[in-house]
Amino acid sequence: MDQTHLGRSGLSVSRLCLGTMNFGWKTGREDSHAIMDRASAKGVNFFDTANVYGFDQGKGSTEEVIGSWFASGGGRRERTVLGTKVYGSMSDWPNDTFLSARNIVRACEASLRRLRTDWIDLYQFHHVDLGTPWEEIWQACATLVAQGKVLYVGSSNHAGWQLAAANEAARARHFTGLVSEQSIYNLLVRDIELEVLPAAQHYGIGVVPWSPLHGGLLAGVLAEAEGDRRSAEQAQTRLAEHRPAIEAYEDACRAWGLAPADVGIAWLLSRPGVTAPIIGPRTMEQFEGSLGATSLVLEQEQLDRLDEIFPGRKPAPMEYAW
């Protein structure tokens, strides 16, 4: 598995990021451990989670599953670049949500306990908190970094101007600021090309796309549905808006002799500024199926055809002004 730096940092991460959102509630502990072992063996050293993951099983349960895997020893923690997140509500108490200094510090402590580790490699803001000033956010983060509990800080679901505001506020404190941004990005959803990608590249922020196959729509959903009437009916509902493009996409992939899922991820890996798409398997089969994309290099003719099917965005303001 190829490695790259996370943004402008010196931290080396794999070109695929293992998303663990399903672990602990859709994927049992034993199967989750097996997937993480397989990922580590295949050179996927970048794992992503969040304090709220676990949902039906209970918020925090995904971090607990990862913590139990770390506790198995064998250098599992040392070999893993671990990212988790803070923002979402963990209780009904008003200060157990968002990005106040109080919640950042207390949520970090709670994540460390669940994860059974002394440090978090990448602590990420799961969403924008417009009610808390960046000065307060960075004060809390600087404390955690000074204590060795957090090494790098990233964001998720932020706009381009918010990346700029965050890193300018960090610069004023002589603090490193954001080194990564998680955004939804795939062939069907290319909005971040307007403002987020240019801002991220300007500030040396590595982009970590989530939903790289848009919930499976880019994974060959039409071909899979052909032999299953129920699936076909479900696909009809989900594909109502995108069916013509998906049909053209699957036709192109078939002509190239390539799996649609591999093409979707390989396309992201070809995009400037992208560090590592997040793959979120529920099963070992799904994880194994994602690995082939890392060895696929799309030709320019193929990239051009994908742009024809899924038109992208120019960086602002060129998208809408002379």
**Strand, coil or helix: what is 198?**
helix
Q: Establish whether 203 is a catalytic residue.
A: no
The answer to whether 99 and 138 are in contact (CB under 8 A) is no
Q: Which long-range contacts (CB under 8 A, 24 or more apart) does 55-62 make?
A: 55/25, 56/25, 57/24, 57/25, 59/88, 59/90, 60/90, 60/110, 60/114, 61/24, 61/25, 62/20, 62/21, 62/23, 62/24, 62/25
Q: Which pair of structure tokens corresponds to residue 171?
A: 């610069």
Q: Which of 53, 87, 152, 185 is catalytic?
A: 53
CA angle 166, 177, 180 (to 5 degrees): 90
* CA angle, 231 then 239 then 229, to 5°: 20
**Omega before residue 317 within 30° of 0, cis:** yes
Q: Could you tell me the two tokens for 100?
A: 């106040």
Positions annotated as catalytic residues are 53
